[in-house]
Amino acid sequence: MQQRTIKKPVEVVGIGLHKGEPIKLRLEPLNADAGIVFYREDLAMSIPLSPSSVIDTRMATVIGSQKGFISTIEHFLSAVYAYGIDNLRVVVNGNEMPIMDGSAISFCLLLEEAGIELQHAPKKIIRVKETVEIRDGDKFVRLVPDERSLFDFRIKFDHPAIGEQSETFEFSTSGFVEKIARARTFGFAKDIQYLKSQNLALGATLQNAIGLDEHKILNPEGLRFDNEFAKHKVLDAMGDMMIAGHNILGRYESFAGSHKLNFELTSKLLSRSTSYELIKAEALPNQAFARSFA
């Protein structure tokens, strides 16, 4: 299995979730072994994708430095993960990614428009060798050795429209597009009102998120899936795992996980050489994982 980039540059303009301003996103091919590199066009600043670039995880995954940052990268990165993209330049002209419809499906369509280019270098995979776990009270995230790529997420909200939900997803590109990519982010009206008073979430609407008051869903069209909230948590987790820079072979499990816990998980995994190995995809004993990108 070879490394992947895109065949041609593509771009799109969307609204930023927090500033509510138009953000131009441009994707460009990169050479083999270049990795995923974000670029703030307005600051002429490159930000390589790695746990060391993460500077905030309170409301979204944010990468950068004191000079500048890019927020809300997880939805886009879930699509990058799903299509097995190894090398890519991600150019934006502001401090956040466009929110699009609050899911990852627009980014999937953008990657399909660009096309997938196979490169003359073997694809590298992070293979989990030892269980790694992060806990915060009853909340946890963990990676467990497995010859499949699985995402198992459980949530519990004291809200009549959510309650307890779960989603178990065995990874494949086609499965992601069909079962996960269209699941939208969600927020509570009381929180949005406060955030907007702080000049945040200025771009949040019912066109790019599921809104909830104390009792019900506010979107007139309702949900896209019965367990859309849990599916979106899987989407977020896939994007956050991509911070490691490669697709991961293993089982991700979580109860009430968050961007913060996911970041701590990838950091802990990569800090312990006995917990993982970076191997060529062609060396995997089970080639079903490689076929999942077809």
Catalytic residues: 259
With 0-12 CB in 10 A as exposed, 13-18 as middle and 19+ as buried, what is 257?
A: buried
Q: Alpha-carbon distance 120 to 123, whole Å?
A: 9
Task: Say if residues 31 and 87 touch (Cβ distance below 8 Å).
Answer: yes
Structure tokens at 118: 């196979």
Q: Give, in order, the Cα–Cα distances in Å from 180 to each of 54, 56, 100, 257.
A: 25, 25, 16, 17
Q: Alpha-carbon distance 78 to 55, whole Å?
A: 19
Give CA 92 to chain center in angstroms: 17
Task: Say if residues 46 and 37 touch (Cβ distance below 8 Å).
Answer: yes
Q: Alpha-carbon distance 94 to 280, whole Å?
A: 35
